[in-house]
Amino acid sequence: MENVLVINNPNAGRKNAAKYKKLIIQFLLRKNCSFKTIEISKLSSTDFQNFDTILAVGGDGTINKIIPYIVNTDKVLGIIPCGTANLLAAKLNIPSNPKKALKVLDNCNVKNIDILKVQNKYSILRTGLGYDSDIICKTPQSLKNKFGYFAYFLAGILFALRLRQRKYNILFKDKKLSILATCIIVANAGNMFKNLVSISNNCNLEDGKFDVFILKVSNPVTFFIEFLGIIFNYKISNFKAMYFQASNLLIKNDFITGHIDGEKQKFKDDIEINIVPKSVKVFGN
């Protein structure tokens, strides 16, 4: 870690990123690093060539914007989590306390992790359609600023009361599915609240696979029972739900709205999802 680019997102989470700036600069000075600090809005006009370490100060949305600039390169991503959810940081066992997060960089433990490519965009966590997309995309920012990640749970209860089935045609492993579903989740990292709640304990950032969950039921009570089963790692494919692993997937599309790592996405073409194995280097525990 010699030349560091610090990318700060002042709007991440509860706008804590600005508070950490002095702490990070002091850390880099002690390490005798050459560094430059920019805000996330300056990404497209920044030359990454001379930096060996990219330090993201923000949440999962911040990291998602940085990934296209470092995928399949030797640049190493460091994370100071200060977003709403910080799910990738949690998956990598990076503490939410900024001083402890900086110590992860001192350990020099670099992991080569998989990411998803959804059409022409990269995803570090998951992409979702239906119920999952409604929670992520329609939860007001004001609610997230006030309640943090708990806002998603409040929204989840509300949206579960108005579930709607949609027909999907899905191709994977030379198989074709035609199903009615209320929710589809394709996950690279399955944790949904720190590492305490996960849609799959099998999700591994280094295994070259992603996990697919399809919930079919529209009754709110039955839906919650199945969803809780997934969270508590009781996953059995039946007429209510499906679970499988794959490395590529195609969802035939009819202008579906979904999300990629929490960012609303209007899919205008068939949704092709592929794993990009071990394509990002990142500091972790």
- What pLDDT shows up at residue 12? 73
- What pLDDT shows up at residue 149? 66
* Rounded distance between C-alpha atoms, residue 247 and residue 277, angstroms: 9
Architecture of the domain spanning 121-277? Sandwich (2.60)
Domain 3-108: CATH class, spelled out:
alpha beta
Residue segments in the chain with a per-residue pLDDT below the cut of 70: 13-17, 148-149, 192-202, 230-236
Residues 6+ apart with CB under 8 A from 112: 206, 278, 279, 280, 281
- What pLDDT shows up at residue 69? 96
Helices within the chain (DSSP H only): 21-30, 60-70, 87-91, 98-107, 131-138, 141-147, 150-160, 220-231
CB 275 within 8 A of CB 114: yes
**């899919």: which residue's tokens?**
267
- What pLDDT shows up at residue 33? 93
Q: Tens digit of pLDDT for each residue in 167-196?
A: 999 999 889 999 999 999 999 987 766 666
CA 191 centroid distance within chain:
9
Q: Tens digit of pLDDT for each residue in 49-83?
A: 999 999 999 988 899 999 999 999 999 999 999 88
- What pLDDT shows up at residue 146? 77
Same fold, 3-108 and 121-277: no
- What pLDDT shows up at residue 161? 81
What residue spans define the domains of the chain?
A: 3-108, 121-277
- What pLDDT shows up at residue 274? 97
- What pLDDT shows up at residue 207? 92
Please state the pTM of the whole predicted model: 0.84
